[in-house]
Amino acid sequence: MSDSKAIEVEGKIITVLPGTMFRVQLDNGHMVLAHISGKLRKHFIKIAAGDRVKMEMSPYDLDKARITYRIRDTNAPPPGPRRPRRY
């Protein structure tokens, strides 16, 4: 499926489920089951309950989605210094 047919929506993480799955409530009140995209996994982006996220949904199945972006909270303090990774 091409990306042009994907529906882009925003929502709030309600529940964190096992296996990097999340229950998300959309702005219109609809609940969907979402998983994180590969780029979020690759860059170790952490998602917790209460975070706002941007998602892509297929027009064929409106109960599932893919989380593509975590929206930063404007009131949150800046992140602390990062520790160097040990390989």
Could you give the number of structural domains in the chain? 1
pLDDT score recorded for residue 2? 57
Is residue 84 a part of any domain in this protein? no
CATH number of the domain to which 35 belongs: 2.40.50.140
Total residues found in the chain within this entry: 87
Strand, helix or coil for residue 38: helix
pLDDT score recorded for residue 1? 52
Is residue 87 a part of any domain in this protein? no
Residue with tokens 């996994």: 41
pTM: 0.81
CA dist 70 and 48 (Å) reads: 10
Is residue 80 a part of any domain in this protein? no
Q: What is the pLDDT along the chain (87 residues), one digit of tens a residue?
A: 556 789 999 999 999 999 999 999 999 999 999 999 999 999 988 999 999 999 999 999 999 999 999 998 878 777 778 778 787
Is residue 33 a part of any domain in this protein? yes
Write out the residue range of the structural domain in which residue 51 sits: 3-71
8 Å CB contact between 33 and 25:
no
Is residue 85 a part of any domain in this protein? no
